Structure 1
Amino acid sequence: MPELPEVEALRGFLQEHLVGREFARVLPLAVSVLKTYDPAPTALEGRTVTAVHRHGKFLDVVTADGGPRLVFHLARAGWLRWLDSVPATPPRPGKGPLALRAVLDDGQGFDLTEAGTQKRLAVHLVHDPGEVPGVARLGPDPLADDFDEARFTELLRGERRQLKGALRDQGLIAGVGNAYSDEILHAARMSPFKLTDTLTPEDTHRLYEALRTTLLDAVERSRGVAAGRLKAEKKSGMRVHGRTGEPCPVCGDTVREVAFSDSSLQYCPTCQTGGRPLADRRLSRLLK
């Protein structure tokens, strides 16, 4: 799943390749992809792109003169593929991973694709991104200039939940998903099951620093990387996420995993849980 650093890199890529160009056609090709019906995709035809914004993991393509905005979320298995030359043969709806094709006035364009059987990629045509429910509920962006340690501390005040879940909650903090929450907690040397209301001021400071540093480093690594190479770049920068059975790059202990029904987390026992392995089941007892 693309998270804040990859989505920010895609934003920069699209800003460079879309601004100043007109949409010629926008073709939804999967039944589930379009979440709005008014305005229709044809309303984008002839509209010039003026900017590309990011809201958490959402991308927001802005068009001139108050025209419709193309807001989309790539979900778990979605991706964007840039086309230097859009094929002349029209794509067949409902065939393969292709969910939407956007064609520009110069013959270039991009596809939104989604692998697998669970179709969660979402495209909205709106005049205000706040009309998209997922955008409206977003918490603050952790890379915003005003996201300081005091604001982070205030967000956690009154919460009683596991750190892993808190970091992934888009209504609390926008943009962090399964992979980077693992990386942040490893950098902070904290158990994913530690409770937010047990954090000392020193813990909160360490977690805030790990959050900012991990995301900023990932954004910097992704900057200027072509869309097609971003997945590989993300994977190469991971220390524990997706590294089950490999040695921790900090201490050498074996990276372990806790698997759930639809996801998993990775952690280092020596760095994060005092050397104690977490039970690999959904109802693991929490480590304090």
Structure 2
Amino acid sequence: MPELPEIEATVRLLDAAVRGGTIESAMAPGLATMRTFSPPLDALKGATLTGIDRRGKLLLVHAEGGGLPGPSTLVLHLMSAGRLQLYEKLAGPRDRTSRVLLRIRGGGAASPAEATTGPGGDAGPEAPDALGAPAIAVPGTEAPLRELRLREFGTKQAAWGKLLPDAELADDDTLSTLGPEAWPDPPDLSDLPPRRTLRGAIRDQRVLAGIGRTWSDEILWQAQLAPLRRCGDLDHAERERLRTAMVEKLGGALDLYLHGGTGPDGKRRTPLALPLPDKLPLPLQVHRRTGDPCPRDGTTLLAVHYEDDEMTYCPTCQTGGKPYKDRRLSRLLKD
């Protein structure tokens, strides 16, 4: 599923393109998508979209006005196969991937620079004009109607949304249980649960918000730490190494998405622009590269397979020459 760097890049590009727009309609074709009913989703009709940001891997679409009782937030969880994208054309009745549709007129109050640095950030390399280009109307006509669309691929309908008054956000059971952000300024990691494995702990959203299966493998490889090592066994220097790896890996991926360049995998990438692709080109060195040589020491990368997951690691620079037994569904290896 999209993790912190992918969600952060999505948020910045979409926010720059739609902030300030008017929501003309809101609907949820996915019958099981919305988990709240008061206020109803169609209360967003007529509201101003005041911004898009994130908390961990959750997308937060902020709005006020319309039929809302006050400033409110549409909380979206993409789960494993969801994507939030902006389209110039409206979804047709046969589009079975649509879960939530927000039809927006106007918007684009943010500048391209804000898309690459974040609101209030220092100016960085200018992004392509498409990043923050407002939907400009021809004089005498209305601005074109665009669609912010939560799509979900595959047969499962797992992606979900909640429309909450801002006064209730702090008490929401999902948001209130999230741990501190894994980027840009993660904690010192001294409070990691001592009996948990490293990989299990850093991808637990209650411990750290934003990291999942993909980036946990990349971060632990960067830090040269065994993924199934217990958190309580780390010394201060190892915790600092892990924290540094989080900042470098997550921040490096985001920088590559927004500004382009050559990734750690040696591939040249152009900056992301709208419309976003269904699958982002992840700049990975380890995850799902089982059988490839380790980029650090050339050892063949190995994996432990779970029912719906694959943990990739280097048996030399991470586990000291001791490969894990790959027993699928083994209780001994579960995080």
The TM-score with structure 1 as length reference comes to 0.89
Equivalent residue, structure 1, for 2:170: 130
1:230, CA displacement in angstroms?
7.3
User: Any idea what SS the aligned residue of 1:103 has?
Assistant: strand
- Of 214, 232, 240, 1:205 maps to 240
Equivalent residue, structure 2, for 1:15: 15
1:171, CA displacement in angstroms?
0.5
Equivalent residue, structure 1, for 2:315: 269
Equivalent residue, structure 2, for 1:116: 154
Equivalent residue, structure 2, for 1:97: 97
| Residues 47 and 67 in structure 1, CA contact (< 8 A), matched pair in contact too | no
Aligned partners of 1:19 and 1:77: how far apart in 2?
25
Aligned partners of 1:148 and 1:138: how far apart in 2?
14
User: Any idea what SS the aligned residue of 1:232 has?
Assistant: coil
Look up the equivalent residue of 2:96 and give its one-letter code.
G
| Residues 180 and 187 in structure 2, CA contact (< 8 A), matched pair in contact too | no
Matches within 5 A, 1:89-238: 89=92, 91-92=93-94, 96-105=96-105, 106-128=144-166, 129-145=169-185, 147-149=186-188, 152-153=189-190, 155-156=191-192, 159-223=194-258, 225-226=272-273, 228-229=276-277, 231-234=279-282, 237-238=283-284
User: Any idea what SS the aligned residue of 2:2 has?
Assistant: coil
Aligned partners of 1:26 and 1:199: how far apart in 2?
49
Is 1:68 matched with 2:72?
yes
1:41, CA displacement in angstroms?
1.2
Equivalent residue, structure 2, for 1:253: 299
The TM-score with structure 2 as length reference comes to 0.77
Look up the equivalent residue of 1:117 and give its one-letter code.
T
User: Any idea what SS the aligned residue of 2:214 has?
Assistant: helix
User: Any idea what SS the aligned residue of 1:229 has?
Assistant: coil
Aligned partners of 1:189 and 1:284: how far apart in 2?
25
Aligned partners of 1:249 and 1:56: how far apart in 2?
29
| Residues 186 and 267 in structure 1, CA contact (< 8 A), matched pair in contact too | yes
User: Any idea what SS the aligned residue of 2:53 has?
Assistant: strand
Equivalent residue, structure 2, for 1:86: 90
Q: Deviations over 1:19-50 (max 9, x none)?
A: 11011111101111111111111110111111
Aligned partners of 1:285 and 1:137: how far apart in 2?
27
Aligned partners of 2:272 and 2:172: how far apart in 1?
28
Q: Deviations over 1:215-254 (max 9, x none)?
A: 11111112251352373322xx111101111122111111
| Residues 124 and 132 in structure 1, CA contact (< 8 A), matched pair in contact too | no
User: Any idea what SS the aligned residue of 1:241 has?
Assistant: coil
1:85, CA displacement in angstroms?
2.5
The farther-off stretch of 40-49 and 125-134 is: 125-134
1:139, CA displacement in angstroms?
0.4
Tell me the percent identity: 34
Unaligned runs of 5+ in 2: 106-143, 259-270
What RMSD over aligned residues (CA atoms) do the two structures have, in Å?
Answer: 1.9
Unaligned runs of 5+ in 1: none
| Residues 291 and 300 in structure 2, CA contact (< 8 A), matched pair in contact too | yes
User: Any idea what SS the aligned residue of 1:273 has?
Assistant: coil
Aligned partners of 2:7 and 2:212: how far apart in 1?
12
| Residues 84 and 149 in structure 2, CA contact (< 8 A), matched pair in contact too | yes
